[in-house]
Structure 1
């Protein structure tokens, strides 16, 4: 299974925001520059993350984006569910559909994948991950927020 770039960069944006010092906001431009993705693409991603409550966007001169809830409350499996179209196959009008067991097998595989991701929060991805902070060029953020 391969995640779409939309979900991939959504997770990366959340990691970036979680790595910021408590209370600090970022701009979408900062996130796009950190990962080398187009600003237009990132705006769409941030909009979806915002609608799902993972990101809070503040408009105005001193505005920006930040996490919408504590990193410890953001479950990676749920983020993937909210961002990703998880239908692996489109059976449509298929000759073998009445007897096919592939759809169930693939459904079970996706559920197993998500169950593993449900065991991780955003905070888990950053905890004691000093190399990540160094790569993102941000100071170590307190994950207790």
Structure 2
């Protein structure tokens, strides 16, 4: 399975702007810019999208893990906080902090923590954040 997204940027890094579109159409020409990334202007940014992907992936992985153990969660609510930090003359994403709160009838706290840790380690997005990245770059 391969999922795709497309980014188009026009102008300089600080004064330019772009649009993001996903294959599914959930994002269609969604605006992003320096202002949406660093100044809180409406629009999206890469860190917000990574946070959404990590929260969604982890929560689904946890639901599957609980199911395997015979538990049916009433609700799993996860927040992912992705940190963008200055790193010399550039920036780096240094952390994704997951915070999950759950209602799982019949499950004790210690077992929940163990299953949540397993889900975090095996969530594909958690693995991606530790993965090798390849790049194919050429001028048109």
Q: TM-score, normalised by structure 2?
A: 0.32
Determine which structure has greater relative contact order: mean sequence separation of CA pairs < 8 Å that are 6+ residues apart, divided by chain length: 1
Larger strand fraction of residues: 2
TM-score, normalised by the number of residues in structure 1:
0.31
